[in-house]
Structure 1
C-alpha cells in the first residue's frame, strides 16, 4: 500500500527527516510516536503528498502502486483527492458551511454530482451517528461531533488511506475513546489503511504496529 525509501527533508539548516524507510500494508493501522520535533508530522505530510521530500538519488514514494515522485503537481493533487483522506487535531471545518456542505467539499472537487455527493455524505452521517447534525454549522456542535464530521469528510471519496495527525488531541477522554474505536471499526469494515501520528499512548498501543521516531528517523 505504501512504500517509502530514503525520505529526507530539511528546512534551511535544520535536517528534519534523515533518510526514512517505511512500508505499510493494506488494511494496517500504524501509529507513529516520538518527542516533539522528531519529524512525525513532516513524515505524515510527505507520505500524504501534502509536502515533497528533498529528493536523493534513491528517494522513492509509492502509494497504491503509484510512484508519486513521477507525478507532476496537478496529478498529485488529483491522486490525493481520490485516494487519501486526512483527519487533523483541529477539525479544519469551514465555519460558514453546514456539516453537510463541509463533508461534500472533497467530493465536489472530485467532480462528483451534487446529488450523489450528498447521498454519500448522508450515509456517512448515519454511520457516524450524526443525522441530527447534518444542517448544523460547526459552532453548534460539540468537539466530538465536529471531529466525526471531519472523519466523514475524510471518507467521502472512499479513500484507500487515512492519515491522521493527533486526531484526538483536542477531545475529552470519552470522545477520544469513541474516535479511536471508530478507526478500527472502519478498518475492519472497509479495509482502509490508517497512519496515525499521536501522543496518546492508548491509541498508539492499539495499533497493529507502533513506530517510534527519534531525531528524524524511525527507530522501531
Structure 2
C-alpha cells in the first residue's frame, strides 16, 4: 500500500529526516509517535505528497508518486489520499454537506453523486441531522467527524491524520479513535496517524517510534 525508502529532508541547513524507511499494509492502522521535533509531521507530509523529499522514493498503490509532476501529484492526491488534521480546516461559509462534497467536486464527480456519497457518510458518522449546519453550529467532535467524512468521500486508498484528536476533549477523542477502528474493520481502510495520544496508539495495529529524524 505504502512504501517509502531512504527519505531525506532538510530545511536550510537543518536536517529533519535522515533516511527514513517505512511500509504500511492495506487495512493497517499505523501510529507514528515521538517527541516534538522528531520529524513525525514532516514525514507525514512527505509520504502524504503534501511536500517532496530531497531524496528517496515513495510508492503508493504501486505508483511511484515521487516521480509525478506537480499536476499529476495533485490529481493522484485528490483521488487516492484523504487527510485529517488537528484543526479540521472546514470552510466556515459552507454547510457540513458542502464541505464534504468539495474533494468530490474537484475530482469531477457530479453534484448528485457527490451529495449522495457525502450524505451517506455523514449519516453513517451520526450526523444525519447536521447536514445543513455550518461549522460554527457544530461541536468540536461533530466538526472533526465532518472532516473524517470529507477525507473518505473519494474512497481513498490511504488516510493520513496529523494529531486528529489533539483539539478534542477526552470523550470526543475516544469516540474518534474508535471510529478509525470501525472504519478499518468495515471498509479495510488504511490509516497513518501522527499522534501524542497513547490511547490512540494503543488501538493501532502497529506503533512506529521516531527519534532525531529516524525510525527506531
Following the alignment from structure 1 to structure 2, what is the Cα–Cα distance between the partners of residues 125 and 61?
A: 32
How far the C-alpha of 1:125 sits from its partner, in A, is 1.0
Following the alignment from structure 1 to structure 2, what is the Cα–Cα distance between the partners of residues 204 and 187?
A: 15
TM-score normalised by structure 1 residue count: 0.97
1:6 alignment counterpart? 6
Structure 1 unmatched runs, 5+ = none
Is residue 2:195 matched to residue 1:202? no
Paired residues for 1:1-220 under 5 Å: 1-55=1-55, 59-219=56-216
Structure 1 moving runs of 4+ over 4 Å: none
TM-score normalised by structure 2 residue count: 0.99
SS state of the match for residue 167, structure 1?
A: coil
Following the alignment from structure 1 to structure 2, what is the Cα–Cα distance between the partners of residues 150 and 63?
A: 22
Deviations 1:139-192 (A, max 9, x none): 000000000000000000010100000000000111000000000110111111
Following the alignment from structure 1 to structure 2, what is the Cα–Cα distance between the partners of residues 125 and 163?
A: 19
Following the alignment from structure 1 to structure 2, what is the Cα–Cα distance between the partners of residues 210 and 70?
A: 28
Structure 2 unmatched runs, 5+ = none
Following the alignment from structure 2 to structure 1, what is the Cα–Cα distance between the partners of residues 174 and 86?
A: 14
Following the alignment from structure 2 to structure 1, what is the Cα–Cα distance between the partners of residues 193 and 166?
A: 12
How far the C-alpha of 1:86 sits from its partner, in A, is 0.3
SS state of the match for residue 186, structure 2?
A: helix
RMSD: 0.5
